[in-house]
Chain A
Amino acid sequence: MRTKKEAIAGWLFAMPVVLGFIIFTLGPMLASLVLSFTDYRVLIQPKFVGFDNYTNLFSGLDPFFYKSLLVTSYYVVLSVPAQLIFAFSIALIMNRDIKFRALFRSIYYLPSIVPAVAISMIWLWLLNPDLGLVNSLLKSAGLPTSLWIFSEKTVIPSLVFMSLWTTGGTMVIFLAGLQGIPRHLYEAVEIDGGNSLQSFTHVTLPMMSPTIFFNLVMGFIGGFQSFTSAYIMTQGGPNNASLFYVFYLYREAFTFQKMGSASAIAWVLFVIISILTVLVFRSSNMWVYYEGEAKN
């Protein structure tokens, strides 16, 4: 009896997003799937071409496909863990009882508000190999300098490094999560004589695992689709070493006017992200702890 009532309530509560998905999202998604099997140039009737768009990509006929896939994967592999660890560490510090906490918190969020062009300008100067502050500091410390975003080898790591400054949103989510951990759990560890490392591994990490899980999933869904700041600073260069996948796709769609091929490119990404998401969700049973389900 109750389960039936609950089932109806479930559907009712979920109704806005179910309807929204059907009305606003599903149609366009399916449309792009259909278009990925056509030669479509917007003004012109789509011509059905079978798997041509896909074989063009995978056979290497398109000179940018593998390159941008590689570049983007490299970025995701580096940036997702780096951003998570960095934002989590900052959130942990911000959650401690330090002076001017509110001020620091606001300051750390600032780069997420300032327009991307302003941030890019600063980085272009800081990381300039000849005149930049970073290289002159490295030089005076006797450390090797770098070409940063101007070399094919270092451009992606440099962009990952810069991306840490705009993880304010992730930090805020972690902070909200940390606030939700009941004090008494920490008190319990203290009573048992545990030290701060133990309270971190036994309380903070498990209690934060749902938030970490969320940021992980969003991190790589977003990572695969990021390109704005990289585009402003490098325009995809040098020699396509920072040609991000979605920028490549966007260019194919709107500059080269190959909407069919662009749809195929998008659906390849869709499949990659879906597989990864499923894998992460599968793994979550092993490491994500939900208080709300512990006693079910």
Chain B
Amino acid sequence: MKRRKITGDILTYIFLLGMSASCLLPFFWMVRSSLMKLSQIFIMPPVWLPNPVRFDNYAKALTVLPFNQYFLNTVIIVVGGVSGTIITSAICAFAFARLRWPGRDFVFGAILTSMMLPYAVTLIPTFIGWRLLNAIDSFYPLIVPAWFGGGVFNIFLLRQFYRTIPMDLDEAALIDGAGYMRIFTQIIMPLTRPAMVVVGLFSFMYYWNDFLGPLVYLNSDKNFTLSLGLQLFRGMYNAQWELMMAASTVVIAPVLIVFLLGQKYFIEGIAMTGMKG
């Protein structure tokens, strides 16, 4: 019995290490390419380590890409988008998961349909709408929708988590005279912190990487974001891979940091393990 467990463990670790290697590979490829000469990147069989190491790819990439300006713009959009998403998606999910009201399931179904139509055909009408509001070349079209529910994906996700919490808690609180807002902020939110962190993480990734929104709504260079800037390295007929990889490495570094910080919370930050059903 014990022997079987040990072999099982060894097999698990072998699997985990193999998976890790394959997951690290693209990241490694990106970083090593960012330090190479263009001609070295594609040699077959691959050259694993750059020789010579060309740190000046980074310097070059960052002169093409006005990092500070784009970074600031990206941060504004990310902060506005993520906070709106977390707050309003949680509020709305509460309505769909914990409250009974006429038309609830119909409304939920209706908003779910907004994910089912490919954006290619709604892009132009949406753009026309924002133009009528005179909001082209501003951050409003990118941030404001986040404050209206923050996307069905997030509402649906939180709804699923909220629904796993026993209803007794709400009933008891209501009897104690608590309002719905208090139930939401004092019972539901603390109990579903992992899910909230997931929503925060996903919406951070979404706004950080969003390319189409900024492309369509932003016109002037001074408003560009990092993900838009990355496209600079993709020429009409040729791509400057080494610079693109250097810039990509710089641009995804903050995402990596946010993930490393966030993942602690949705694993170790659980206060609900002892909860009674």
Query: Does B115 sit at the interface, judged by CB under 8 A?
Result: yes
In chain A between 179 and 204, which residues have their CB closer than 8 angstroms to a CB of chain B?
A: 179-180, 182-185
Contact indicator A253/B180 (Cβ below 8 Å): no
Q: Given the interface contacts A176-B266, A225-B118, does A214 sit within 8 Å of B157 by beta carbon?
A: yes
Question: Chain B: interface secondary structure?
Answer: helix
The answer on a CB contact under 8 Å between A29 and B95 is: no
- Inter-chain CA distance A112–B117, complex, in Å, is 24
**B92 and A17 form a contact (CB under 8 A):** yes
CB distance from A54 to the nearest CB of B (A): 14
Assuming the A-B contacts A29-B117, A292-B162, are A10 and B259 also in contact, with contact meaning beta carbons closer than 8 angstroms in the complex?
Answer: no
Chain A minimum-CB-distance residue to B191: A180
Q: Is B190 an interface residue (CB 8 A)?
A: no
B-facing residues in A64-123 (Cβ within 8 Å): 90, 93, 98, 101-102, 104-115, 117-119, 121-122
A63 at the interface (CB under 8 A from B): no
Complex partner residue of B160 from A105, A210, A277, CB under 8 angstroms = A210
Chain A residues contacting B274 (CB-CB under 8 Å) are: 182-184
The reply on A61 being an interface residue by CB < 8 A is no
Max count, chain A CB within 10 A of own CB: residue among B91, B174, B267: B267
B101, A7: Cβ atoms closer than 8 Å: yes
Number of CB contacts from chain A to chain B under 8 A: 273
Q: Are B120 and A165 in contact (CB under 8 A)?
A: no
Indicate which residue in A14, A19, A269 contacts B96 across the interface (CB closer than 8 Å): A14
Among listed A138-146, A149-157, A234-242, A259-267, interface-contacting one: A259-267
Q: How large is the interface on A (under 10, 10 to 19, 20 to 34, 35 or more residues)?
A: 35 or more
Neighbour of B267 across the interface among A19, A165, A175, A210, CB < 8 A: A175
B23-62 at interface with A (beta carbon < 8 Å) = 23-27, 29-30, 33, 44-46
B112 within 8 A of A: yes
Q: How far is the CB of A180 from chain B (nearest CB, A)?
A: 6
CB-CB under 8 A from B236, the residues of chain A are: none
Cβ–Cβ contact B129 & A27, under 8 A: yes
- In Å, the complex CA distance between A207 and B164 comes to 8
**Interchain CB contact under 8 A, B113 and A274:** yes
> Residue A254 contacts which of B20, B100, B118, B120 (CB distance < 8 angstroms)?
B120
Distance in angstroms from B124 CB to nearest chain A CB is 7
| B103-130 interface bits toward A, Cβ cutoff 8 Å, 1 = contact, 0 = none | 0100101111111111011111110010
**CB-defined interface of B165-191 with A at 8 Å, one 1/0 digit per residue?**
111100000100000100010000000
- Residue A172 contacts which of B12, B104, B155, B266 (CB distance < 8 angstroms)? B266
- A253/B162 in contact, CB under 8 A: no
Given A277-B112, A292-B165, A249-B273 contact (CB < 8 Å): no
**In the bound complex, CA of A269 to CA of B110 (Å):** 16
Binding site secondary structure of chain A = helix
Which chain B residue shows the least CB distance to A263? B121
Known: A108-B23, A114-B30, A176-B198. A295 touches B168 (CB 8 A): yes
Q: Is the C-beta of B248 less than 8 angstroms from some C-beta in chain A?
A: yes
B269 shortest CB reach to chain A, Å: 9
Q: State the Cβ distance, B101 to closest chain A Cβ, in Å.
A: 3
A154-180: CB near B (< 8 Å → 1, else 0) gives 000000000001000100110111011
The closest CB in chain B to the CB of A128 belongs to: B44
Interface membership of chain B positions 135-158, coded 1 if the CB is closer than 8 angstroms to chain A and 0 otherwise: 000000000010111001101110
A-B interface, 4 closest residue pairs, ranked by CB to CB distance from nearest: A20-B148, A10-B101, A17-B149, A13-B95
Contacts from B to A (Cβ < 8 Å): 12-13, 15-16, 19-20, 22-27, 29-30, 33, 44-46, 88-89, 91-92, 94-102, 104, 107, 109-118, 120-126, 129, 145, 147-149, 152-153, 155-157, 160-168, 174, 180, 184, 192, 194-195, 197-198, 201-202, 205, 230, 244-245, 248, 252, 255-256, 259-260, 263-264, 266-267, 270, 272-277
12 cross-chain CB contacts under 8 A: A11-B101, A12-B95, A14-B95, A20-B149, A28-B122, A28-B123, A28-B126, A32-B117, A118-B33, A118-B245, A180-B164, A210-B164
